[in-house]
Structure 1
Amino acid sequence: MKSIIGTSIKRLFILLMLAVAVGCGSDSSDSSSSSDTETETSDTTGYAIVDTGQEGCYDGDGEEITCPEPGEAFYGQDAQFDGNQPSYTDNGDGTVTDNVTGLTWQQTPVNNGYSYDEALAYCESLALGGYDDWRMPTTKELFSISNFSQGWPYLDTSVFDLAGTAVSKDEQYWTEPYVGTTVEGGSDAAFGVNHGTGHIKAYPAGVSGPMGNYVRAVRGGTSYGINDFVDNGDGTVTDHATGLMWQQADSGSGMDWADALAYAEDSTMADHDDWRLPNIKELQSIVDYSRSPSAIDADNQGPAIDTDYFEITELPSGTTDYDSDYGYFWSSTSAYFGGDSPEYYYAWYVAFGTAVGQDGSDFHGAGAVRFDTKYEGGALGEGGERYYNYVRLVRDADK
C-alpha cells in the first residue's frame, strides 16, 4: 500500500508542475466588477470524467448493430455504459461553464494559428467574461469537452464554436509541452487535441501561422486531471479522483477489438464480475504526461503511466526505435473517420509507449490518442497499424 503522505506529496508536486507548465494564468480581476451574467467557477476537487456521448453499437466492420446482450459478440462497448452526461451552461458572455468538471471555457476561439509560446501569451493577455485569469488547458482538461457522438467534429457545436470556417483536420488546439522527442518537433514538441479528427498528438511547438495550432482558453480549478491512486493489494488500483477501479497489470498480450471486449466480459478479477473495457476518456484519464520512452530527461523516461501503481508489458526488443517501449491499449469507443455515411470500422486506443510511424520513430508522442481498424484485414488505417493491442480493464469502484 502506498503511504498517504507519499501520495499527498506527489499530488502537490503535480499541481506545482501544472502551474509552471500552463504558465498562462494571471491575477484575476475583481469579479464584482463583471456583468450579471458571469458564472463563478470553484476549484474542482475531483476528476469527474465526462461521458463520450457515443450512443450506437458497432461490429468489427463498422456497421451499426443492435447493442449486444451479455455473452454475445461485441458486448460491452462504449454505448452500453453511461457515465457523467455532458452538461454545459452558456453564460451569455462568450464563455461556457462545464457543470460536470467546474471548468469555464472560451466559447469562440480566435481563427489564428499560433506557436505554442504565442498561444501562452494569448492566454496571458485574454480578458473575457469579466476575468483575466485565463490559461492554457492541460491535455486532460481539453479532452474533457471532446464529444464522440459522431465525429468531424468531435465537439458539441451547439455549445462550442470552431475556430476554423469549416470542419477539417486542422481544428488542432494546444495543451501542454511533450517531454519526449518527435519526428516532426524534435525536442520542441507540444501536445494538442484535434477537435476535427478526435486525436491527441504532439506537434512542432515552434510553428505558427498556417501551420500553427489554435487555442481555447480555460479558467477554473487546476486540480482537474490529477489522479489519486491507491493500491488495493489485490491486483487492482482505485483512483479516488475519478471513482474508477483499474486492473493493475495489463492483459500481457495483444488482441483484436472483439477479443478485447470478450476478455473484459469474462474477467472475475478480485471477485468482481463487472469489469469492462474502458471508454476512450476513461482510458486517457490514467495517462501520465510527464513520462515518455523518448524523454530527454532520464528521470522522465518510461511508459506514460504511473508505474508506482500500474504494471505494463514491455514490447519485444526491436519493435520500435527505443530500448524500452510499450504498447497501444484498446478502448471500447468506436471511431468515425469520414465518408458519406457514418462508418465506425475503427476503434480508439491510447499509446502508453511511443506513438510511432512506419519507421518506428516517435511520431505522435506517448499519451497520444489514435485509432486502428478493429481486426487484421479490416479497413485500411492511417499507417503503422497494430491490430493486436493490449487491454487494461476498469470498473466503477463504488459498486
Structure 2
Amino acid sequence: MNKPVFKFPDAGNIKCYDKTGREIPVPDYQDELYGQNGCFVVNPMSFTKLDGKGNPLPDIATWDDGYRTVQDNNTGLIWEVKSPKEDDINFRGARYSWDDAKKYVEQLNKLKYGGFSDWRLPNKDELRSIIDYGRTNPAVDTFYFPNCEVAFYWTSVPYMMQPPFVWGIFFGLGSGIPYTPKSLQCVRAVRGGYSLDFGDPQKVMFQDNGDGTITDLRTGLMWQKEENERMDWYQALKYCKDMRLAGYSDWRLPNIKELNTILDLTYKDGWWYHKEYFPAKGLKPPLLHYFSSTPYEKTYVWVTNFCFGYDGYYASKSAKLLFRAVRNVVSPKVQKRVFIFPHTGQKKCYDYDGNIIKVPSKGERFYGQDGSVVIGTPSFTKLREGGYSVSDEAGWSDGVRMVLDNNTGLIWEIKSPNAGDFNFRGNRYNWEDAKRYVDYLNKIEYGGFSDWRLPNREELRSIADYSGVVPAIDTKYFPDTQPHFYWSKDTYAKDTSFVWGIYFAYGCAICYLNTTPYYVRAVRGGYNPAFGDTSRYAFKDNGDGTITD
C-alpha cells in the first residue's frame, strides 16, 4: 500500500478577471492577464467527511447523520467539525482566550472526540490551508466545514514581533493577523497530517540550490532567491511568466497561501525573511508588501506585508509592489479536456416489426441502427455551489445546483422544486424575459458563476435522451424537467420573430413565436466554444466524397 503523500493545497476555487473586474474564462498563455491565480490548479482542495470514529461518510452527510470530523485529502490533516447545538462541548459559537483554547483541546483529548486523543491547536499554515480564497463570510467551504463562524480562530503560534499577541486566521476573508491572547476568539482543533513539519516555525526545510533558486522541501515549491524591482500586478504577472531562471521557464506569481509559507514566524533578528535564504538585498522597512496572484473582490489583490508579517491586506493591481516568483518542483500533470459528441441515449435495437432484439454486432442483420453504435456514452456529474462535484445520490436539498456534461464540458442549471424560488421548475418566460432571467443568474452569481447564457440549439439538444423516456432527458441528473419546449438563443433564419428550441417531450427541435411563454435552462462553460455556434461552422471538403466537421 502506497504511503500517503503530502500535497500543498490550492488557494481555493479562484476565478479569473479582466481589468474591470469582470469574470472571464482562463486567459490564453499569450494574454497579458495570464498568470493570475485562477490560471493554475495544482492540488485542488479535497476533503472527506468522517463519523465519530473516523470512518468515511457519504459527502452529503450532515451533523445529524453523525458527521464529526473532516480529513483534508491533500495534507492528511483531520479537523474537528463544529456542532450547531449550544449544549455541546464544541458548539460553533463558543469563544475562548488563548489559554482556554488550549484547555478546550485538552478536553477533546480527554473525551477522545472523533475517536482520537491527539488533538492540538493548528499552526498558522495548517489553519490557512483550509481557507478557500474564492469565498468570503466565511472563507471556507461550508459543505465540509458547516457551522463556521465569520470570526478569528486561534493558532498555536505566538506573534514574536509583539508578545504576548498570538497569530490566527480571520475566517471572514482568510487573513492572517494576531490578537491579544486574552481576547475571546474561536478555535478549531486538528490532528494527524502527512507531514509533521508543515507550518512548524522551528522546522524550516529550505535548500539553496546554488543557482539563484531556493527549494522548500516541505511544500515542493521552488522560489526565486533574489528581489525584483517594484512593478504593478500586471507587469509582475508578465515578468514571472517570461522569467528564465536556473533552466526553468514555468515561473509564476505565487498565490496567497504559497507566499505566506516563506515568512519566518520566529522573527529572527527582527526580520520576517529567512535571510540566509532570501537576503532581501537593498530592502528596508516599512514598505515591504509583496504581491500574490490571488484576487480580492475582483479588482484588488491579496498581498503580504514582510514588515509586520501580516497578510490581512489587499492592494490595487496598479500599485507598484515587490514580488517573488515561484514554481512547482514537480509540475502538475494537466489533462487536456476533450470535447466528445454525446450519444442520443438510445440503447435498444428493433427488427422490421418493431420488436426489441439483442443488439446486433457489426456484420449482423439490423446492425447500424442507433442502439448498435454507442460512441460518447452520456455521462454527467452533479455539482454544488462553486462547481464542486457531489455524489449521484445528492439532490436539491443536498445542495445540487448544476450538472456537468462530462462529454461536452457544458454546465447546466438545475431547476428548483420550490414554487417560491426564482428558478422554480414551473416558471415560463417569453424569449426576451428568458434572456433577462439569464442576466439575473449572472447578477446573483448563481452557483458561484457569472457567465451563464442561453444555450444554442445543438447544445440544448445534446442533453436530450432519445430512448423514448418522457421527459426526454435523464431525470436523475435533470430532475423537475418539464416535457415541453425550452428556449435556445438561436432565431429562425426565415423569420426572426421565431426562435429555435428543444421540445423535451420527445427531443425534437422546433420554433416558436418569441412572445410565447416557455421554459428556459441556462448553460455555461464547455470544452468546445464552437459547438453548435451557427457563426462558426467548420466543415472541410476532403475532395474524396467526404466532408469532415
Query: When the two structures are superposed, what TM-score results if normalisation uses the length of structure 1?
Result: 0.70
1:271 aligns with 2:247: yes
| 1:204 aligned residue (177, 180, 201) | 180
Q: Report the CA distance between 1:77 and its aligned residue.
A: 0.8
CA contact (8 A) 1:328 1:351 kept: yes
Q: Report the CA distance between 1:47 and its aligned residue.
A: 5.1
1:244 aligns with 2:221: yes
1:232 corresponds to which residue? 209
| 1:345 aligned residue (299, 309, 322) | 299
CA contact (8 A) 1:50 1:144 kept: yes
1:312 aligns with 2:301: no
Q: Helix, strand or coil: the match of 1:246?
A: strand
1:172 corresponds to which residue? 152
Q: Helix, strand or coil: the match of 1:306?
A: coil
Q: Sequence identity, in percent?
A: 37
Stretches of structure 1 that go unaligned for 5 or more consecutive residues are 1-41, 182-186, 292-299, 321-325, 337-343, 355-365, 376-386
2:326 corresponds to which residue? 394
Q: Report the CA distance between 1:229 and its aligned residue.
A: 1.4
In 2, distance between residues paired with 1:199 and 1:47? 23
In 1, distance between residues paired with 2:252 and 2:259? 11
CA contact (8 A) 1:202 1:368 kept: no
In 2, distance between residues paired with 1:367 and 1:304? 10
2:421 corresponds to which residue? none
Report matched runs for 1:1-399 at 5 Å. 48-93=7-52, 94-108=68-82, 110=91, 111-126=93-108, 127=111, 128-164=113-149, 168=150, 171-175=151-155, 176-181=157-162, 187-207=163-183, 212-221=184-193, 222-226=196-200, 227-251=204-228, 253-291=229-267, 300-313=268-281, 315-316=283-284, 320=286, 327-336=288-297, 344-354=298-308, 366-375=309-318, 387-399=319-331
In 2, distance between residues paired with 1:395 and 1:224? 18
In 1, distance between residues paired with 2:19 and 2:276? 35
Q: Report the CA distance between 1:199 and its aligned residue.
A: 0.8
CA contact (8 A) 2:138 2:148 kept: no
CA contact (8 A) 1:244 1:395 kept: yes
Counterpart of 2:250, as a letter, is D
Q: Report the CA distance between 1:367 and its aligned residue.
A: 4.3
In 2, distance between residues paired with 1:80 and 1:156? 20
Q: Report the CA distance between 1:314 and its aligned residue.
A: 5.0
In 1, distance between residues paired with 2:329 and 2:148? 38
CA contact (8 A) 1:255 1:390 kept: yes
CA contact (8 A) 1:67 1:80 kept: yes
Counterpart of 2:165, as a letter, is A
Q: Helix, strand or coil: the match of 1:123?
A: helix
CA contact (8 A) 1:347 1:371 kept: yes
What whole-Å deviation, never above 9, does each CA across 1:31-62 have from its counterpart, x for those lacking one? Answer: xxxxxxxxxxx9x8x75211112342113332
In 2, distance between residues paired with 1:397 and 1:281? 17
What whole-Å deviation, never above 9, does each CA across 1:137-158 have from its counterpart, x for those lacking one? Answer: 0000000100123322210000
In 2, distance between residues paired with 1:303 and 1:65? 39
Structure possessing the higher radius of gyration over alpha carbons: 2
Counterpart of 2:271, as a letter, is P
In 1, distance between residues paired with 2:29 and 2:124? 34
In 1, distance between residues paired with 2:20 and 2:165? 35
Q: Helix, strand or coil: the match of 2:101?
A: helix
In 2, distance between residues paired with 1:289 and 1:61? 36
What whole-Å deviation, never above 9, does each CA across 1:116-157 have from its counterpart, x for those lacking one? Answer: 111111112213112222111000000010012332221000
Q: Report the CA distance between 1:70 and its aligned residue.
A: 2.3
Change (3 A) 1:268 1:158: same
What whole-Å deviation, never above 9, does each CA across 1:69-104 have from its counterpart, x for those lacking one? Answer: 223222111111111112211112211111111111
Counterpart of 2:213, as a letter, is T
CA contact (8 A) 2:133 2:173 kept: no
What whole-Å deviation, never above 9, does each CA across 1:343-366 have from its counterpart, x for those lacking one? Answer: x11111122222xxxxxxxxxxx1
In 2, distance between residues paired with 1:328 and 1:203? 21
Counterpart of 1:213, as a letter, is Q
CA RMSD, Structure 1 to Structure 2 (Å): 2.0
Q: Report the CA distance between 1:224 and its aligned residue.
A: 2.2
Counterpart of 1:288, as a letter, is D
Q: Report the CA distance between 1:237 and its aligned residue.
A: 0.8
Q: Helix, strand or coil: the match of 1:159?
A: coil
What whole-Å deviation, never above 9, does each CA across 1:348-396 have from its counterpart, x for those lacking one? Answer: 1122222xxxxxxxxxxx1434321212xxxxxxxxxxx3221110011
CA contact (8 A) 2:197 2:218 kept: no
CA contact (8 A) 1:172 1:192 kept: yes
Stretches of structure 2 that go unaligned for 5 or more consecutive residues are 53-67, 83-89, 332-549
Q: Report the CA distance between 1:196 and its aligned residue.
A: 1.1
CA contact (8 A) 2:240 2:252 kept: yes
Q: Report the CA distance between 1:225 and its aligned residue.
A: 2.3
Q: Report the CA distance between 1:247 and its aligned residue.
A: 0.1
CA contact (8 A) 1:89 1:98 kept: yes
Counterpart of 1:287, as a letter, is L
Q: Which has the higher contact order (CA 8 A, sep 6+)?
A: 1
CA contact (8 A) 1:348 1:372 kept: yes
In 1, distance between residues paired with 2:330 and 2:236? 24
